[in-house]
Amino acid sequence: MTNTAFAVKESKNQSMDDDSTEKKSIDFIRSRQSKTLIIGICGTVGSGFRSLVETVKSELDIYDYDTHTIRVSDIIIDLSKKHPKLDELVIRNSAERYLKLQSQGNLIRDEIESTYLSQAVISEITRIKAEIKKKNNINPDKKDIGKVAFIIDQLKHPHEVELLRLIYPHNFYLFGMLRSESERIINLRDEGISTNDIYKIITEDKKSEKKTGQQTEKTILDSDFFINNNSGNKSLQKQAISRCIALIHGQNGITPTRDEKGMYTAFSASLTSACLSRQVGAAILNDDGDIIATGRNDVPKPFGGLYYETGNIADDHRCIHKGGHCFNDEHKNKIREKFESILKNYNIFSNEDPKSSEDELPSDPTVVSPGEIAELLFNETPVSSIIEYSRAIHAEMDAITSLARNPSESTKDKILYSTTYPCHNCARHIVASGIRKVVFIEPYEKSLALRLHNDAITELNEAYKVNFVLFEGVSPRRYQKFFLATGDRKDKNGKAKPLTSKYGNHIDIQFLDAPDDYELKIHKDFTDSYTISN
């Protein structure tokens, strides 16, 4: 029985990789894993990226990678010389470099495509791979080029990360660099940048007004590893990066830190939330790392706790099952409608009858309607950020109140982990409950916690205040992938193995070929194993 389709495919793909007929199907497929790594770097401006990139490269050298660094800033400068929609950049000092690169990057995402810089990175990876093949006399059609690593310095928009994850789903890792704003300001000042320009640079870097502009804060949230560079201590940075690279390769004996365990617990709790606004989780741990409470944002039920999935919707009164809408948004919309009603009743557009109808408003196109003013007042004031009309309690409060139902435990001197920075309502209860430290990942712009309670809360590691600190370590989304051993931890003699990844290489399996190729390979092996006689 012949298979013409496979014969054509095999001859076309003979670089798959010339030995497909000599191995059993499963052995062949196991051997077709990519050894290439792509590491993206993301972080807020002034965090100290040069030392990070150098350290990542030196750690990859230990694993015998041929490492190449791709600087997105160089790509922007190069595109500015070539692309018809862009003007060539003229950079005279450090401030101009930051500001003009930010502006040009935003223009590229806005005028061309939001993923255009990622496309340029992928194009550069392809070019470098071709050079490696040529240099090492490797068949251009061969996909396996050995242990090659690419460091992408830096990614500034979630769409850029998304495209890279789509192309390299199992061998792309994002390192998120964290540093306090005060230390970043010092770094930028050391470059001779004025205070005024520093704040322009930091503001634009954090979150551009346009959705296609820089969105560093959002981009960091998709990191596989969060690396804190607050101390600027290179040995600590090296230690953190060494651990990241070791985890990627499945090094035996690395287990979660207390912070990683706490944040993963909080993240797991968030997955049980049905809140229509966002999923937030919290966990309270003691100094020994014991989990004593968890919480999520959802609707409270009678006699304690929150509604849970029971399989009986009639007993579930969460918003999704009670009208299917957000009650907080409903009340905010009523406020906006009230604004419009007041503006109409007090008709600020005319000195005539205050009860004039909307049809009698001036026809001058520069004059806006009551509805437009109401929309402006709503969106440009804190009214749009009101949170107290929600039926759900927040995750931090759920965790704290769960301890109120448990007389054997207390919040005093405990650590609270939250997937999101606490709002100012939760913050005051956190302070009052005696919790001494809060660890979080995602910022929460609506929170006025530090502004209202700077006498009791700090982000600067002060001993006599409740410390709110950024999480550092393995992202909770990747916790199981990095800490679940997929291979044996010891050999047949009981000796510990250095690596526990099932198939060698790194822990994620990125195959070199499409599933169709392996399907056809197995089909051919199977049909060749017997003869059909008529």
Domains of the chain: 34-252 (3.40.50.300), 259-320+390-473 (3.40.140.10), 327-385 (no CATH)
Burial class (CB in 10 A: 0-12, 13-18, 19+), 367: exposed
List the structure tokens of 463.
């001993």
**pTM of the full predicted structure?**
0.86
- CA pair distance 300, 306, nearest whole angstrom: 4
Q: What is the pLDDT of residues 459-515, one digit of tens each?
A: 988 889 999 999 999 999 999 999 988 888 888 899 988 888 777 678 888 899 988
- CA pair distance 79, 101, nearest whole angstrom: 11
Tell me which residue of 294, 259, 272, 219 sits closest to 438, measured CA to CA: 259
Percent of residues, the chain, with pLDDT higher than 70: 91
Query: Using CA of residue 39, residue 43, residue 49, residue 55, what is the dihedral sign?
Result: negative
Tell me the DSSP string of 11-49: HHTTTTTS-TTTS-HHHHHHHTB---EEEEEEE-TTS-H
Rounded (5°) CA angle 116-119-124: 130
- CA pair distance 461, 167, nearest whole angstrom: 40
DSSP 442: E
3-state secondary structure 163-203: HHHHHCCCCEEEEEEECCHHHHHHHHHHCCCCHHHHHHHHH
Q: What is the pLDDT of residues 349-384, one digit of tens each?
A: 554 454 555 555 555 555 578 888 888 877 778 777
Q: What is the pLDDT of residues 418-436, one digit of tens each?
A: 999 999 999 999 999 999 9
Output the pLDDT for position 2. 39
Tell me the DSSP string of 452-503: H-TTTEESS--TTSEEEEE--EE-GGGHHHHHS--S-SB-TTSPBPSB--TT
Q: Which secondary structure element, helix H or strand E, spans residue 226, and what is its range?
A: strand 225-228
C-alpha distance from residue 68 to each of 39, 53, 149, 354 (Å)? 10, 11, 6, 71
Average pLDDT over residues 306-328: 87
Q: Is the pLDDT of residue 16 over 70?
A: no
Report how many helices (DSSP H) and strands (DSSP E) the chain contains, helices first: 19, 12
- CA pair distance 50, 55, nearest whole angstrom: 9
Q: Which secondary structure element, helix H or strand E, spans residue 150, and what is its range?
A: strand 148-153
Q: Which secondary structure element, helix H or strand E, spans residue 6, and what is its range?
A: helix 4-12
- CA pair distance 348, 533, nearest whole angstrom: 94
- CA pair distance 519, 6, nearest whole angstrom: 10
| pLDDT: which is higher, 377 or 213 | 213
C-alpha distance from residue 104 to each of 42, 357, 438, 529 (Å)? 18, 48, 38, 60
Indicate the pLDDT class of residue 3, thresholds 50, 70 and 90: very low
C-alpha distance from residue 171 to each of 30, 39, 366, 520 (Å)? 16, 8, 55, 25
Alpha helices of 346-436 — where are they, by DSSP H?
A: 370-379, 395-404, 424-433
- CA pair distance 497, 491, nearest whole angstrom: 6
Pick the range with the lowest mean pLDDT from 104-113, 308-317, 364-373. 364-373
Contacts (Cβ under 8 Å, ≥6 apart) of 149: 36, 37, 38, 39, 60, 65, 66, 67, 68
Alpha helices of 207-248 — where are they, by DSSP H?
A: 216-220, 234-248
Q: Give the position of tokens 């009678």.
A: 302
* One-letter amino acid of 92: R
- CA pair distance 94, 113, nearest whole angstrom: 27
Q: Give the position of tokens 């059609």.
A: 141
Q: Is residue 35 a contact partner of residue 148, using CB atoms and an 8 Å limit?
A: yes
Q: What is the pLDDT of residues 43-58, one digit of tens each?
A: 999 988 888 999 999 9
3-state class of 215 per DSSP? coil
Residues 410/411/412/416 CA torsion (nearest 10 deg): 150
| Long-range contacts, 440-448 (Cβ 8 Å, 24+) | 440/468, 440/469, 440/470, 440/471, 441/221, 441/226, 441/263, 441/470, 441/471, 441/475, 441/476, 442/221, 443/217, 444/420, 445/385, 446/385, 446/387, 447/421, 447/422, 447/423, 448/424
Q: Is the pLDDT of residue 127 over 80?
A: yes
Output the pLDDT for position 531. 54
DSSP 386: -
Kindly give the pairing relationship between strand 225-228 and strand 172-178.
parallel
Q: What is the pLDDT of residues 74-97, one digit of tens each?
A: 999 999 998 888 888 888 899 999
Output the pLDDT for position 12. 41
DSSP 225: E
- CA pair distance 382, 488, nearest whole angstrom: 56
